[in-house]
Structures are given as structure tokens and as C-alpha cells.
Structure 1
Amino acid sequence: MRILVVEDEKSISEAIKAILEEAHYDVDLAFDGETGMDYILTELYDLVLLDIMLPQMDGMTVLKRVRQLGTEVPIIFLTAKSQLDDKVSGLDLGADDYITKPFEADELLARIRARTRQSSILKVNHLKLGNIMLNLDNRELSANNHEVKLSNKEFLLMETLLRHPGQIIPKNQLILKVWGPMDGSEYNQLEVFISFLRKKLRFLKANVAIKTTKGVGYSLEEGPKKVC
């Protein structure tokens, strides 16, 4: 299970990371609101711990924007702001929980377990668009009574596109989702794997296609679309 911690005080971030890794979670850190939002939108994480007082973009704004964009990952505010009005505002914006600093490690871990349990109960095991279906359990893409197995990177790309049908996903967001931070010279890997997915969609005779918006990114479109 992968958790994102968005906290600008590095000593606190590292302490939280140590607690979570001791409990066998995979942990990534972000130290400002804009970076945190970009990471959240990759939909790579099972849960997010989000501070409110952050540079570049505050946690309330981050939460509001990612919820507006349809991201449903559980988000727990972890903050020194303990006023009732702050808690109510955060929960009304779509936070799943609100923990004030200082906190006990056992309480933090218990809250995380509770939220991830609820999330797993609601999670579906497939995504559909047009005549294609992606099985999230076995990573098979199917259409017209045929199926193909996807590699890990193909699966992550197709999952991201299917979760945002018709929406242009920027190249850097797709790269962060699949490869994590990487050098710009390696961006051609994305084009290679998009090509692999297009070949598999043609093999399945899918009625959806991956469309390129030059200089921006890719989208998954239903119906007869010209693929660039």
C-alpha cells in the first residue's frame, strides 16, 4: 500500500515516513502544495496525509481542486490547526479525516487502517469504456470475447486513461504515474508504451482509441477517432 505525505517541515515528514515504513507502507514525500497536488492526481496512492499550511498552495486548496477533478483517494488532514471551524471546513471540502498535531503514532496508524479498509470495500475490480474492459485484478484488457495481458507499465497507462475518458492527460502526469520522476531525455519511453497499447487495442478490435494532442498529452476516446 502506497501513501503520500504532503508536509513542508522535512523533519516531521521524515518522522512520519519512518512510522509508516515501520508499518510496511510504501511512502512518498512532497514538500509543497503544488507538487502534492500533481502527485495526488497521478492516482498512484492508496491514501494521502495532507498538511494545511503549505507553501505555493495550501492544503485546503489542494483538497478542493483534486476533489473537483474527481480524485477519490482517501485524504487525511494532518495539521496543527485545531480549531473546530478548520475541521468542519476540511471535512466539508471532502477530507476523510482530520488529525491534529502533536499525534500518537498508534492513533495515526489506526486512522489509516480505518480509511483504507473503507476504500477497499468500495473499490471496483474493472473499468469500462466502449466495448473494452480492464480487469484491475489480473491486468487483462478485453473486448469482443478476446483478451490480452498488459505489462505493468501498459496497465498503469491504460488504467489512468480509463479513469479519465475523453480527458487529455498531460505527458508529464502520465510519466510520473508510471515511471516516477525521470529525466526529460527519457520521455520517449512514454511514446513506446502508448504504441504498444494502440497495437493491442487494434488486435481486440476496440471501438476506443488513444488520441494524441500534440505537445500536450493523450486521451482515450470512444468511437471512430483519428489516432495521431
Structure 2
Amino acid sequence: MKTLIIEDTKKLADTLQNFFSMNGNNADISYNLEDAYHYVEITHYDIILLDIMLPDGDGRNFLQKLRKKNNLTPIIVMTAKFEISDKVDILDLGADDYIIKPFEFIELEARCRAVLRRKNNNHQQSLAFGNVNLFPQTATIEINGHAQSLRNRELRLLEIFFNSPNIIFSKNQITDRIFSISDIVSENAIEVYVARLRKKIEKSNIILETMRGIGYKLTTKN
């Protein structure tokens, strides 16, 4: 899960980033709306955590502008307001959920998972392509009844391909989805992850095919 945290309280934002990182997820931080707009233009996020009161504007305006641009990235609003009318307004503007400050991080993480499950085909528990089943919640794949565990980035890379089989993804697109902006990524990093996954699915009837000069796609073997 790649997350954008839009929060001007540095201690909270940094602690949230560390929390998500410890759980194997990538998180970028924007302390203001100007940077947030820039981040969503240049990279892909699975979910956005949005504060309302920011030094350069109201987070609700950010939410509204993203939805008007047809950006459907799930957004959870982090708010200190308790009024029912405020919550209704937030949801009506296009937020997927909200959480009241102060909150427990494990509750926020659970809300993130719930929002992503709703987005990914209504509580889908597994993905299948060819004779391979992918189980994101347990980070495993199963081939002909034989299960193998996946590391975090291996899982996220396979999710990309399983959600869009036969679609070509460039190295830049893959890097954008599995690394955060602050990560230092070597030139051959994607090749390393693809090689690992190829080894794990070598006994299946699917393959990560190299489209020379373009990228990779998940397809079935001839």
C-alpha cells in the first residue's frame, strides 16, 4: 500500500509514516496543499490521508478538486471536528471515510484496509490468473495447491499485474507504484523483483513477459 499523508503537524505525520513503514508500506508526507497537488500529479497512490486545516488552505478544497479531475484515489479525512454536519459534508465531497483526532494508528490502518477492500471489487479475498491464485491478505501465492510466501514488494508488484493482466507496464510505472518518492531506487531494481517473481511462478502456466524497450506484462504461456 502506497500512502500520501497530508498533515502539517510534523510529529504526527512523521510518526504515521514510520508506522506504515514498519508494516511494510510506503508513505510520502506533504505538510501543505501545494506539495500535495504536486505529488498526486507525478506519482500514484493507493490511498490518501488528508488533514483539513493546512497552512495554505482547506483540505476539503483539495478533496473537491481531485474528484472534479476524476481522480478516484481513496481518501480518508483526518479531522478534529465532531459535528455530524461536518462529517456529512466531507463524505458528500467525495471522501471514502473519516477518522476523528486523536485516533489509534491500528484503527486508521484497519480503515485503510476496509476502504481498499471496497475499492477492490467488494471484499475480494484473492486474485487469480492462469493456474495461480494470489492472496494479498496473507502475502502468498498458490500454484496447483502449493503455497509460497511473498515479500512486500513482490506482493505489490504481483497485485499490479494480476489486476491488469495482458497490460504492459513500463519500469517507470512500476517504480512509481511500489516505491515512495524518497526511496533511492537502483536502475536494475525492477529487474531484480521481476526475476524473483519469475522464479516463484516458473512451475505455473503464466509468465512475466519482457516487452523489449517498453516494459513487462503478465500473460499465459503459449
> Contact (CA 8 Å) 2:131, 2:204: kept in 1 or not?
no
2:50 maps to 50
Distance of aligned partners of 1:135 and 1:97 in 2 relative to their CA distance in 1, 3 Å threshold: closer
**Cα distance, 1:134 vs. partner?**
0.9
1:190 maps to 190
1:181-220 pair list within 5 angstroms: 181-183=182-184, 186-206=186-206, 209-212=208-211, 214-215=213-214, 217-220=215-218
C-alpha distance in 2 between matches for 1:96 and 1:213? 39
**More deviation in 27-36 or 113-122?**
113-122
Q: For 1:175-226, what per-residue CA distance to the aligned partner results, in whole angstroms no more than 9, with x for missing partners?
A: 3444444445x120211221232343332233x54453624x43323574xx
**1:115 aligned to 88, 111, 120, which one?**
111
Alignment RMSD: 4.5
> Contact (CA 8 Å) 2:63, 2:94: kept in 1 or not?
no
Structure 1's unaligned 5+ residue stretches are none
C-alpha distance in 2 between matches for 1:123 and 1:161? 19
1:105 maps to 102
C-alpha distance in 2 between matches for 1:38 and 1:29? 12
1:1-228 pair list within 5 angstroms: 4-7=4-7, 9=8, 12=9, 14-17=10-13, 20=16, 25-26=19-20, 28-31=27-30, 32-36=36-40, 40-41=44-45, 43=46, 48-50=48-50, 53=57, 58-63=62-67, 65-67=70-72, 71=73, 73=74, 75-78=75-78, 88=89, 91-92=91-92, 94-97=94-97, 104-106=101-103, 112=108, 115-116=111-112, 118-119=114-115, 123-143=123-143, 145-147=144-146, 149-152=148-151, 153-180=153-180, 181-183=182-184, 186-206=186-206, 209-212=208-211, 214-215=213-214, 217-222=215-220, 224=222
AA partner of residue 203 (structure 2): F
* Higher RCO (Cα < 8 Å, 6 or more apart): 2
Q: Percent identity?
A: 26
TM-score by length of structure 2 reads 0.61
**Cα distance, 1:26 vs. partner?**
2.4
Distance of aligned partners of 1:175 and 1:18 in 2 relative to their CA distance in 1, 3 Å threshold: closer
AA partner of residue 142 (structure 1): E
**Aligned residue pairs, count:** 198
> Contact (CA 8 Å) 1:140, 1:148: kept in 2 or not?
yes
C-alpha distance in 1 between matches for 2:193 and 2:111? 34
SS at match of 1:203: coil
TM-score by length of structure 1 reads 0.60
C-alpha distance in 1 between matches for 2:114 and 2:138? 22
